[in-house]
Structures are given as structure tokens and as C-alpha cells.
Structure 1
């Protein structure tokens, strides 16, 4: 039986189809952002925001901020940046670490926080995609409850899929030198992602990516990371020499939470250490302890055993006014403002509440399968990719000793001996390079777990020199 439609019905169905096409195109399209609430005047750089659907039926929608190089975007490198956590928004990178923005005020006063621009943005010499990954991070979301759950291996695949799709939509960047970059927990996933990209290149996946290497800051790398906390604490003067010697003798170098001490003296020593670590800032041992905002952007706390007192229980909260805890709080007020979300082209109703770091919530939806990425470094080194590994030298959770240890374990010959690197005539840190094209650098003068957050000028100079193939 043939169905007959009136001309008006055909016209109506055609209009519905057109509206659906328009809605789908709008859903998929990225948008240029010229103005941001809290920033005076037009943005002095090119900012694009958008979503890319990944995974089965694109049920996971990953949000990103893209800032084009302010120098020579046609030829400057392209960087894909992942903030740690997992569950920490890539907006951290935009406003607190390596991006062009910063909050002018130090403490929330009830009005919309105000933004300024910094001269030390890595976008001065590179185009950077700041990706909200995994799903349930920042403004990224899943369209179903099932899509909100993700395994770390799949999260890496989603990032690779994102990159391929993004380059299809931005073919003008497909020939630019490409690097992955990130900090903290990203030290576990980025080497895996770089491996996926490398494998895809060898398989001929399109578009071809001009992969050159990767950068990692204070990267979580292997499960024995905490065993290097004790020499760090001893060197920082947090534990005395006699206690340190007793720990070495009785605990045999094992200090992890999952380690069961074999003697009472080791247990007693570890309990003493926990007491000495009360109200010590995990991310920066020289800074005040300011509550939950000082938690490491990693899937575990840096304490050894026992319970650390909260900010409310301590007597030092007055030391924190105007400090990182307040500056971090500014982003929560700013990003949850409806005017800001409209300007950023955030899809209404997709995220109930934006959080700078959603670590507690993401623990229920994110599955860890491996906490060791050393084998990926070995394989990537064999393929000739460049890497820069840097450490803020006052970070307790991923101390520079542990990073130096796993790099040394790769057993590559030294091509540039341990030496100072300087900025503005001052020592900014120490560095060493290896025959596998890996450079290790410490950032001193008070750099913590997220080194660029404390030392923007120094880290910008470090990046600019390295990305240009110049010695630090």
C-alpha cells in the first residue's frame, strides 16, 4: 500500500529534517570565543572550545579548549595537554599552569573573578589543545550512565580517537610537529597514548600525526614511587637522621601503604613519620597546608599511614588566606557562572556542577589497571622520540629522587652532564640529558608538584628552549 502525503505535510517533514540537520551540525561544531566574562575587552589570543564524541556511538563527549600559537601557528608545534588527577580539569592548565590566563584577585569576594593575561604562556611558541579527559572531567560528559564509567586503557584510546577526529576538523595542523604533555597522574597515561599514536602511524592510520615526543611534569610513573619519600623527607629536614637510619635499617626501603612491616620497630618508625607529616603540604613542603585543595592530583594521598588532620581541625587556616586554596576556589566560582558557560559554549544540562578536580567522584567511575609506565618509556625511546621530564623539587608525593631513579634505570648514556640551567641570571634548576633524547630537569626556587603553577617564568623558558631544540 502506498502512503500519500499532502504538499503541506511534505513541506513540514522537510522543515523538521532541516532543523535536525542544523541541530546536529551545531552540536558537533566548535566555536571561537572572543570574549570571556571577567576579562576586559576582546581576548588577545585565538580561543576555540568544543566537543568531540568518542567511544561507542560517541556516547562520551570530550570538551576541549584550543589556543592557537601567538607567534607562528602555521609552523609552531601542536601540543595536546592533559591535566592530572584523573579528574582534574584541563582549565587548570589554561589559567594556573601553562596557559595565557590568570586570576588577578587572590580571594573570592562575591563578584565574578577577574582574569588577566600572563607573558609566560606556552602558547607564545606553540598551539595547545587543553583536553578534559577522561569523561566526567571538567565539562566532558557521558550521554548515558554506562558511558560515565571508563577503564584507564579505554581512556587512553579515547584520547587518541579525539586527536584523530580533531585533526580531521583542523587539517591545517596535521603537518605541525606534535607533542603530548601533562603532569602528575598523566605520567601513567601519556606514555600509553604516545605509544598508541606511534602504533597508529606505523599502521598508516589517517590523518598521519607528525609525532615528535612528549613532556611530563612531576609524573607518577611506577608503584614504588613512595619508597623515595623517605630520603626526600630526610633531605628536607622533616625527619631527623637517626629516624631515617632506623627506617632504612628496619623497613628495608619499603614505605608504601600496601607494605606490611615485618617488625615492630618499622611500624613504630612509620607512625612517627605520619605524625611529623601532619599539616605538611603534600604538593609543596615549604607552603602552608590548606586543606583538601592541597591534595595531590593523583589517585592516592601521599601520607604513609594513619589520618592527617583536616584544615578545620588544624590551627593554621589563617595562613591560607589569599593562598592557592583561594586562587583555586576562584575557578569554581568562575566556571560555574551561567554567563561563563554560555561564553564557553558549554551544552546546557550536561554537567550539574563544574569542579576543578573531581577526584573523589571519579574514583567511582574510573578503573585503574596499571600504575607503571616505565616499559612505554623504554619502547618510545627505542623509536627515537624526544622527551622532557621535569620535577618541581619541593614535591613530596612524586619526589625528584623517584623520577631521577626510574630515568637512571633506563640505563642510557649521559650526553649532557648534571649542570645548572638559569633564567635571568639566576639558577632555575638542574638538568641532565641522555642518549635516548630524554632530558631531565629540576625546577628549584620553590617549585612544587605542579611546577608551572609556582614558577611560570622559569617553566616557560624551560619549555621554550626545549621545544626549539636548544639546551636548557
Structure 2
């Protein structure tokens, strides 16, 4: 635990650093321009590495385009696990986007500014975590394997080192955020920050809350909610849903193979949702090739023509959102891009937007209890999800929020209502509270997985209001 003398000395150092520095200084390297972007960047971008044990954790830092001396600081992690924070920066919440029309002309993909960036209201550290994600790497073979627990621990150590090198941000409000699988990691990091503050660990962050979008939270709840979601969205019939609910006893994950009625009901469910793209049930599902099994052979189709009727048709000229993602791989693997980003040569063989080859152990199947324990702290939590997301359906999100509400005796302070952007419904929201703890839940109307990728403007307005302590 830090002694009062050490705390005083550190505070004096902080005051001197913040008060007498005419300009904010940074530990990373400045990136004033990027290949594929015309002209200089209209925002302050820094990139760099922070050493954490055997790992070199890469990050993009974008200074707030508002008032960086007062605006909040946000540590942001993308899900996966294994998806680079570049994914969030360019597709979801950052100030850049790919120019698809210009990029179709060939050559290096083109970038352009995006107006409704969360960096209008906050300074954001986009962290490539865990190790093996994006440009983050390990210097030893033992350092490559990761897990939920290790990922959170490394992110927390990264954070302390980063703010130690950038002490001007210790006085501004601090938030932890992420989406997708980072719904597991974000509350774990928040818990570590709270424990560090209570133990007097220096430097002391000005933690105000955390936020999770389309968040994985509890394996059992998340996966089980898919069947109910499919029924609510009219993807399966009443008969199929009622049979599954009755015979599977609302457990669609661990199924007894001898429970014939449950198996048949789930088989009907699978047939109905096979052709649905779960990231967004209203968008096309891309199939680059048909599955290579007997079900798809001509003989099989002759024996069971229903398989043909229920199969996923191939459409050669079908636009798919996945096409956008290939631009990131083409762009980030270019040598001039990596030089501009100050990437260390020889540390990454092939950059992937989402690295599916990382060695990773999911050792935290649920963080509901972590969320519940944090209700005793002076924190604010924002949970948001797209209402057309079948990867992490809103049905499950509502379920675990209600369990926290009941266990922690939270009070409903803002009943279910629409929230608006430009006089149009952006989604729906409700709010719970207890003492100085506040939990805001919001849907993004028409959003998929993750919500900010589909409705960037609406999600910016939602974040800006929440982080500014305004009602949605």
C-alpha cells in the first residue's frame, strides 16, 4: 500500500506536470499522416508499445478532439478474443472509416474522416489485447498463451504504466469500455482498478464507470437466449419453440442425446436458422463455398430433396459486410502503413483483423457476479446492444441485468422508454440505481453485433450523453 508521504510526492509531481506543461506530452510516437488518407490527420494520433511481462502491448491513442484537459479518458478493448482494436477504431467508434468506392479502384485501401467519432467527447486508448492480437506480441514462447484472467491482468498493468507515462490524464474522469467478447474482460479490468484504488496503488485513476456493448457475459445465458430470440424474431415457429422449451427444460446447451423430443426440437431450430447471419439477422449471410459433406452431394439431394430446399443458396453478386473487413487486412499488412504506425519490424508475420489462431483459455465462463459486486461501488455502467444481434441476443442481456437488479436491490429510476436522435427513435432504454451506483441499459434499434458498427451516429450520441452525465 502506498504511504501518505509517497502519495503526497506523487501528487506534487502530478500538479507540476499538468500545471506547468504548456502542451500535453505523450509517451507514444506521433502519427501525423497515414497511407491511404489524403493529407494530414485532423486529430492527434499516437501509437506505441508498453512492456508488460514478456509482452509488448501495442496501442493507438487518439486525443480528444474536444477539450483533452477535461474530457474523459477511455481504455477500449475489442472482442474476439483476438480482434485488433483497429476494428473498433475504423468500423465502430473512431474518427476514420474506409472509403469503399475509392478502394474498389485497386491499390492500397483508402481512408477518410468520420465525423461522429467518440473521440469528439473523450480521449481513447485503443489497446491490442490479448497478446497475439493486432500488433501486440510476446518476446518469449511462454508469453504467447493467454486467458480471460491473464488478459485482464495485462491490460490493467498496461493501463498503470501508460498513465504513469502520461500523468496529465490522471485527473480526468476515467472509463473502461469494450464490446463483444470484451464484455468478459472489461468488468474484470474494472474490478482490478477498483481494488488498486482501494489498496492505494499508484498511480491513482479517477475511475467513474465502465461500459460494455453487445457483451458476452455468461456462457449459459448468452447461448440459451438464442432460441428465445429466434422465436421472438419469427425465425422459428411456436411449435418448435414450445417443444424445445418443454422437452429441453430451457437448457439448450447441454442436451441428453437420449432426450429424443429435445433433440428433434433443436434440430428444427437449427434448420430454421441455418441460413441466418447471426451478426445481423436482416443482412445476407456470405457463403464462400458449400460445406464439404455428404449432405450436399447430388446423391444426397436425390434421397432427401428437403435438404436442397433448406440449403443456403449461393448468389455470386451478393454484397456482404464481410467484404469491408478485407480492406483492413490489405491496409495493415502494407509495409508503408506499418512504418507510419511505428510497428516494430519482424514482430508480426501476418496482421489479422481478428486473429483466430491465438492460444487462449476462456477461464471466466461468467462475470455476472463481478458486475453484481461492482454495484456496491460509486460507479456508472452502460450496457448497450443491437436488437437484431443473434450472437449476443438482447434477451440474455436483459436476463442477467434483471438478476443483478434483484440480487443487488437496484431501484428502477427510469422506466422503459425510447431514446431519440434527430427526432427519430434510436432505441430503447431503462435505468437502475442504488445509492451512488447507476446502471443504464440501452438497445440500438436495428443494430447488430456489434451495435456501433451498424449505427455509428446513434451510438456516438448515446455515448456522448452518457459520458456527459445526461439522460439518453
Q: Same fold (TM over 0.5)?
A: yes
Give a deviation string over 1:1-26, Cα, whole Å, max 9, x none.
xxxxxxxxxxxxxxxxxxxxxxxxxx
Match of 1:259 among 210, 234, 255: 255
Q: How far apart, in 2, do the equivalents of 1:261 and 1:391 lie?
A: 34
Q: CA deviation at 1:152?
A: 2.1
Q: CA deviation at 1:384?
A: 2.1
Match of 1:331 among 323, 328, 333: 328
Match of 1:396 among 390, 403, 409: 390
Structure 2 residue 236 is the aligned partner of structure 1 residue 247: no
Structure 2 residue 40 is the aligned partner of structure 1 residue 46: no
Question: Secondary structure of 2:375's match?
Answer: helix
Question: Secondary structure of 2:100's match?
Answer: coil
Q: How far apart, in 1, do the equivalents of 2:122 and 2:77 lie?
A: 15
Question: Secondary structure of 1:437's match?
Answer: strand
Give a deviation string over 1:234-253, Cα, whole Å, max 9, x none.
11111011111111111111
CA contact (8 A) 1:108 1:330 kept: no
Match of 1:184 among 177, 180, 197: 180
- Alignment match, 1:375: 369
Q: CA deviation at 1:279?
A: 2.3
Q: CA deviation at 1:314?
A: 4.7
Q: How far apart, in 1, do the equivalents of 2:132 and 2:177 lie?
A: 20
Match of 2:85 among 81, 90, 95: 90
Structure 2 residue 112 is the aligned partner of structure 1 residue 116: yes
Q: How far apart, in 1, do the equivalents of 2:383 and 2:147 lie?
A: 26
Q: CA deviation at 1:316?
A: 3.4
Q: CA deviation at 1:317?
A: 4.3
Q: How far apart, in 1, do the equivalents of 2:412 and 2:314 lie?
A: 45
Give a deviation string over 1:211-249, Cα, whole Å, max 9, x none.
111010011111221111111101111101111111111
Unaligned runs of 5+ in 2: 1-25, 289-306
CA contact (8 A) 2:255 2:262 kept: no
Matches within 5 A, 1:75-224: 75-105=70-100, 108-224=104-220
- Alignment match, 2:379: 385
Q: How far apart, in 2, do the equivalents of 1:204 and 1:319 lie?
A: 59
- Alignment match, 1:424: 422
CA contact (8 A) 1:52 1:61 kept: yes
Q: How far apart, in 2, do the equivalents of 1:164 and 1:185 lie?
A: 23
Q: CA deviation at 1:109?
A: 4.6
CA RMSD, Structure 1 to Structure 2 (Å): 1.6
Q: How far apart, in 1, do the equivalents of 2:342 and 2:255 lie?
A: 47
- Alignment match, 1:12: none
Question: Secondary structure of 1:333's match?
Answer: helix
Q: CA deviation at 1:81?
A: 0.3
Question: Secondary structure of 1:347's match?
Answer: coil
- Alignment match, 2:440: 439
Q: How far apart, in 1, do the equivalents of 2:286 and 2:175 lie?
A: 34
Question: Secondary structure of 1:404's match?
Answer: helix
Q: How far apart, in 2, do the equivalents of 1:262 and 1:417 lie?
A: 44
Q: CA deviation at 1:50?
A: 0.3
Match of 1:231 among 228, 233, 254: 228
Moved more, 261-270 or 428-437: 261-270
Q: CA deviation at 1:422?
A: 0.7
Classify 1:291/1:92 alpha carbon distance in 2 versus 1 (closer, same or farther; 3 Å): farther
- Alignment match, 2:60: 65
Q: CA deviation at 1:118?
A: 1.0
Q: CA deviation at 1:69?
A: 0.2
Q: How far apart, in 2, do the equivalents of 1:378 and 1:65 lie?
A: 31
Matches within 5 A, 1:306-345: 314-318=312-316, 320-321=318-319, 323-345=320-342
Number of residue pairs matched by the alignment? 417
Q: How far apart, in 2, do the equivalents of 1:414 and 1:29 lie?
A: 43
CA contact (8 A) 1:251 1:261 kept: no
CA contact (8 A) 2:93 2:118 kept: yes
Unaligned runs of 5+ in 1: 1-27, 293-308
